[in-house]
Amino acid sequence: MKKNLGVIPAVFPMPVLIIAAYNDDGSVNAMNAAWGTICAMDKILLCISEGHKTTKDILTQKAFTVSLADKAHLEAADYFGIASGNKLADKFARTGYHAEKSAFVNAPVITEFPVTLECELDEIVEAKHGRAVIGKIVNVSAEETVLDESGKIDPMKLNALIFDPFQSGYYVAGEKVGKAWNAGLPLMPKD
């Protein structure tokens, strides 16, 4: 029997995305966001409020990167979510992490994270209950250590962090249990 829990953000898994952009002075700013998803083959949608320093930087620079946080970099990934760029001018520098300018957009690529989507600002969607930043993905870069033999990102090698909104935990994927667009074929009509 199901129990009513009320209104909670009951979607699992949620990605742990590190969004980075340049400040006005050229320094790097980064934040942790879980409310983001792919919304087209070359678009990513991020639900981030206008009060974030990173949001302001994205609007100014018209570009940003989105890195997939991984288990090896859990401490910094969480820090990017609890420290505010509005209060700490040296937020990124405190991690000791490094960034290189993207060859595709005017935004920093944080070198420690293994996968990065390099994006141009495409659209801001203002809605009654929030704001969505939509980026056009112009390149995805990945460390060779997270690629399989055919050059695709291997989720088991990536160890991407998954956010748990129920108990505020971080997890990583554990096993592949089926193949998409294949596991349900036995239920398809046979005619």
pLDDT tens digits, one per residue of 55-94: 999 999 999 999 999 999 999 999 999 999 889 889 999 9
pLDDT tens digits, one per residue of 84-142: 988 988 999 999 999 999 999 999 999 999 999 999 999 999 888 888 999 999 999 99
Residues 6 or more apart from 158 whose CB is under 8 A from it? 68, 70, 114, 115, 146
Euclidean distance between CA atoms 68 and 140, whole angstroms: 11
The whole-model pTM stands at: 0.94
Domains and CATH numbers, the chain: 14-187 (2.30.110.10)
Ramachandran class of 6: left when φ > 0, alpha when ψ lies in -120 to 50, beta otherwise: left
CB atoms within 10 A of CB 13: 15
What integer pLDDT is reported at residue 188 of this predicted model?
92
pLDDT surpassing 90 at residue 10: no
The type of residue at 12 is F
CA 26 to chain centre: 22
